[in-house]
Amino acid sequence: MITFLQHISDPRLRETARKVLDGERITPEEGIILYTEAGLPLLSVLARAVRERLNGNLVFFNRNFHIEPTNICINNCLFCSYRKSAGDPESWQYSVNEIMEIVKRFDNVPVTEVHITGGVHPKRDISFYCELLRAIKAHRPGLHIKAFSAIELDFMFRHSGLTAEKGLEFLKDCGLDSIPGGGAEIFDTGIRNRICPGKTSAERWLEIHEKGHLLGLPSNATMLYGHVEDYSHRIAHMELLRQLQDKTGGFNAFIPLKFKRYNNPMSEIPEVSTLEDMRNYAVSRIFLDNFRHIKAYWPMLGREQTRMSLSFGADDVDGTIEDTTRIYSMAGADEKNPVMNSEELTSLIRREGYTPAERDSLYNIIREY
């Protein structure tokens, strides 16, 4: 290993690489050095060392489907290709019965998780969402419900005058099992005001996740990158997540989300390259040393890029999805019909030399392939 490090001429980069290989935490400044000074081959070596320490040779996936109850939203995020106003012919708002019809389509499919998230509907309150959770649990008690981003939750709680703690306790009692990672975007206030003015603040996002963790509701965390932010904003975002994870240990996975430019008001911004995506996977894998899992969300990335991400620290490829999400297809994702069965997922993972492991929502292994 000493010989390998000797080939790195920049002393700051060499010291950063040494720390990573020795299992030491790197500082935010060292995170920036990795983004700006490290070549992709070095990043791949370092990220794979970290992923191997945490997950051996395993790459995880689950069997899941998504429900997007509505695309009507009080927010007007500039990166969003999906939001519509009430009354727009392209808007939708499913009733509890209509959502249950979707759930029932999977009655004979061995899915273990439903992921529910959508727009922040101005007229729906927490009792609507509780009724939905209860209906799903009554129909299929074993299905894990990962639902409602901190943005949707913030609105529900404010609307009904509940604290985050009380609101989460209530939803947990209705059947909520965990919280997805959406709505984090970039925590920096200046960037947030530019890309999603008026949206729930970073502090509130973090508060809701912290309260969830303390109540036994694990969650994920996302980062929307590749638009107007720079590396310092990405590192500051991950530093806040790393600090919260040190406190609670409640995050399951970190999910970098690449900004997709079609059909939204930020379309003039070019998308970053695949090489930049790989750089970002690797730095997040290395920096977030207390997150066990880094998820490459294949409906957004595309199959080939997902394969590549496994060499840059990703150890989770999300799930089978079953063609049930529109957030990315409407924003110009390569995957127009996001559906991959478990055979396709496992062969994608195997082709990169890893061992596929089907997991449940808490990363317990259901089956190794």
What residue ranges bind ligand V47 (CB under 6 A)? 79-81, 180-183, 185, 220, 222, 224, 255, 257, 259-260, 264, 297, 318, 327, 331
Q: How far is the CB of 348 from ligand V47 (least distance, A)?
A: 17
Which is nearer to ligand V47, 81 or 311 (by Cβ)? 81
Q: What angle do CA 85, 90, 94 make, to 5 degrees?
A: 80
Q: How many residues does the chain have?
A: 369
Question: Which residue, 149 or 311, has its beta carbon nearer to ligand V47?
Answer: 149
Query: DSSP string of 278-316?
Result: HHHHHHHHHH-TT-SEEB--HHHH-HHHHHHHGGGT--E
Shorter beta-carbon distance to ligand V47: residue 180 or 250: 180
Give 252's Cβ-side CA count (13 Å radius).
22
Q: How far is the CB of 118 from ligand V47 (least distance, A)?
A: 9
Q: State the DSSP code for 8.
A: -
Q: Are 217 and 252 in contact (CB under 8 A)?
A: no
Task: Return the number of other C-beta atoms located less than 10 Å from residue 8's C-beta.
Answer: 18
Is 75 or 93 the residue whose CB approaches ligand V47 more closely?
A: 75
Distance CA 39, CA 41 (A): 6
H or E element in which residue 153 lies: helix 150-159
Secondary structure of residue 236 in the 3-state scheme? helix
Report the nearest approach of ligand V47 to the CB of residue 47 (Å): 20
Nearest distance from residue 237's CB to ligand V47, in Å? 12
Give the count of beta carbons closer than 10 Å to the beta carbon of residue 272.
Answer: 15
d(CA 135, CA 249): 30
The residue number whose beta carbon is nearest to ligand V47 equals: 182
- C-alpha span between 228 and 261 (Å, rounded): 12
Beta carbon of residue 160, minimum distance to ligand V47 (angstroms, whole number): 23
Taking Cα atoms as reference points, which of 325, 336, 258, 246 lies closest to residue 291?
246
In angstroms, give the least distance from the CB of 115 to ligand V47. 6
| CA–CA gap between residue 29 and residue 39 (Å, rounded) | 17
**What span, in angstroms and rounded, lies between the C-alpha atoms of 319 and 111?**
9
Q: Between residues 85 and 127, which has the closer beta carbon with respect to ligand V47?
A: 85
First to last CA, the chain: 32
Q: Which is nearer to ligand V47, 293 or 307 (CB)?
A: 293
CB of 42 to ligand V47, least distance (A): 28
| Closest CB 297 distance from ligand V47, rounded Å | 5
- Closer to ligand V47 by Cβ: residue 44 or 245: 245
CB 184 within 8 A of CB 220: no
Indicate the residue among 35 and 297 with the shorter CB distance to ligand V47.
297
Q: Which is nearer to ligand V47, 264 or 309 (CB)?
A: 264
Considering the complex, what minimum distance in angstroms separates the CB of residue 322 from ligand V47?
A: 14
